[in-house]
Structure 1
Amino acid sequence: MKGIVYRRIVFPHEGGQHLPITLDSIGHNHQQEKVSRTDGYETYHWLQTVSGEGVIHFENNKTFSLPAGSGVLLLPYTPHRYEASAANWSTSYLTFGGSSAGSILETLGMNMNSFYRWEKEAPLSKLLREILDQYDASQDMFGLTASTDAYRFLLTLSKYGQLHNNTTISRNVDKLQPLLKWMDTHYGDPDLGLNDLADQLGVSGRYLNNLFIQTFGLSPYAYFVRLRIRKSKEMLVTQPDLTVKVISQRVGFRDVSHYVATFRKQSGTTPEQFRRLH
């Protein structure tokens, strides 16, 4: 591996659209450049330090160091930026999605932006490099092996990764859990506002806003909108007889043009294009 500066594999999903978890990309960057994503990344994103050290920043002015033997799991559309804080910051990364990725992470207790450390002997230190080597020499046309590897990585992270630097975030998620579950069943109501969300926890709108930004890097409303878009994607794929207009109404948008514009901003495609691709 010495001398290789950058490697990346992007996986096509033809034939694998309905897999519960899909591996979108995997890579290694021997000299990690500065990255800034004001709208976050469209899928789940794992980044780990191989050597050197980096630092990651969130919109709420939270900053965390990423030394060797540590990594960060980011939820889709979490605004962030990261950069080296020492010479020659070397990283490995993995991005993944799939119809059941969220529920799998929830089952593993990993459904939040989280930071992990692990012992030097743990397989996490070299697992992504091993997976990357494997795909350098093979083809996985239908994504089946890639799906298995993504799931294997998450199980390994769950087993060997130790949460760090996010005690506050963990507490916040516990506080927000009743509201998150409520939002998951009330996303179709277009009349809901910040005060309605705050009432579910018996807190002020200002407190709830700070809690969401501290935990997810997003306001409650932005989180709710992204939940609605995610639900609409499920409907687009699983209910092909529903029109885009009907789906927009079912996920809480009064105006279909507003829904299409929001969908395009978050996904880079229109709902119709997304449906054809999936």
Structure 2
Amino acid sequence: MILPILLNRTRLLPIYVVGMGGHEHQERIIRRCGFQGYQVLYCMGGSGILKIENEEHDIQRGDAFFFRPDVPHEYYPIEAPWCVKWIVFMGNAVESIVDYMGFGKSEVFHLHSLEDFDIQVSAVSDMFWCDDPDKEIKTSMLMYKLLIKMGECKNNTPQPSGLSQNEKYEKLSPVIEMLKTRYQEDLGLDDMAEAIGVTTNHLCRLFHQVYDTTPLKYLTHLRLNMAKYYLCSPKNMKVKEVAAAVGFKDPSYFCAVFKKAEGVTPDDFRRINAF
């Protein structure tokens, strides 16, 4: 078990390890007020039950569970020995990182490879205890990689809808390809929904689950990104030419949308970003 004494400079890092360890014979844990840090636990053998957010989860070998600070929970073995390892982390950017990755207050997911995940956790421990003068920031980097691995595993875990997050990405890939290659055209929801054989309502719901936005807002985002490329290109295109090139029929509307998104007009953007 590792419960490090943290240096003041360590707390400046976006993510840092607070503690890590494991139990070959995990006993019942009840935390009615939750835990003080972000924690992920994973099962190396046996099985147990996790009770959290009014739900009960069966935790088998290769399963992992995560919870944020102050989330009440309970877990206990049902097939002994229940071998569990864990790592606790904090940091001034952790909340934003787990939000970005789509983690809720708690998550249960299956690891792609228990052995590989365990090796990554061991690498965090080894780095923390080595003599490298930069070990704190390197430990932070390894913890970031571990979070990415957790996100990948979570996205492959089937959701109540029956599809994992990755399967939803794949379902929408023809729509994304259409938007990337035909952004200059007058595309509507019907065109996008037809590309994957669903209704427009289903398309919007699926799109929001994956990208946290609407298909039309995503299309506008693509168009504005291309507009910035054209504005900074050596071709020195007129604003109305840029607007037409990225799918805006009305240059005035293009300028209004651009300024709302970027905070400056297209001409000012070109001037500020000139090289």
Normalised TM-score (structure 1): 0.51
Q: 1:127 Cα shift?
A: 2.3
Is the Cα contact below 8 Å between 1:28 and 1:129 reproduced in 2?
no
Q: Which residue of 1 aligns with 2:85?
A: 92
Q: Matches of residues 93-172 of structure 1 in structure 2 within 5 Å?
A: 93-120=86-113, 123-138=116-131, 143-162=136-155, 164=157, 167=160
- 2:66 aligned partner, one-letter code: L
Q: Which has the larger radius of gyration?
A: 2
Is the Cα contact below 8 Å between 1:92 and 1:129 reproduced in 2?
no
Looking at structure 2, the residues matched to 140 and 166 of structure 1 have their Cα atoms a distance apart, in angstroms, of 43
Is the Cα contact below 8 Å between 1:19 and 1:99 reproduced in 2?
yes
Residue 49 of structure 2 aligns to a residue in which SS?
strand
1:32 aligns with 2:21: no
Q: 1:112 Cα shift?
A: 3.3
Q: Which residue of 2 aligns with 1:183?
A: none
In the TM superposition, what whole-angstrom CA distance separates every residue of 1:141-195 from its partner, at most 9, and x where no partner exists?
8732322222111011112344647638x9xxxxxxxxxxxxxxxxxxxxxxxxx
Q: Which residue of 1 aligns with 2:9?
A: 15
Is the Cα contact below 8 Å between 1:15 and 1:142 reproduced in 2?
no
Residue 157 of structure 1 aligns to a residue in which SS?
helix
Is the Cα contact below 8 Å between 2:128 and 2:135 reproduced in 1?
no
Q: Matches of residues 223-262 of structure 1 in structure 2 within 5 Å?
A: none
- 2:27 aligned partner, one-letter code: E
Looking at structure 2, the residues matched to 121 and 31 of structure 1 have their Cα atoms a distance apart, in angstroms, of 18
1:73 aligns with 2:66: yes
Unpaired stretches in structure 1, ≥5 consecutive residues: 1-6, 171-278
Q: 1:102 Cα shift?
A: 0.7
Looking at structure 2, the residues matched to 16 and 133 of structure 1 have their Cα atoms a distance apart, in angstroms, of 17
- 2:152 aligned partner, one-letter code: K
Residue 25 of structure 1 aligns to a residue in which SS?
strand
* Matched-pair identity in %: 19
Unpaired stretches in structure 2, ≥5 consecutive residues: 164-275
Normalised TM-score (structure 2): 0.52
Q: How many residues align?
A: 162
Is the Cα contact below 8 Å between 1:69 and 1:117 reproduced in 2?
yes
In the TM superposition, what whole-angstrom CA distance separates every residue of 1:230-251 from its partner, at most 9, and x where no partner exists?
xxxxxxxxxxxxxxxxxxxxxx
Is the Cα contact below 8 Å between 1:115 and 1:165 reproduced in 2?
no
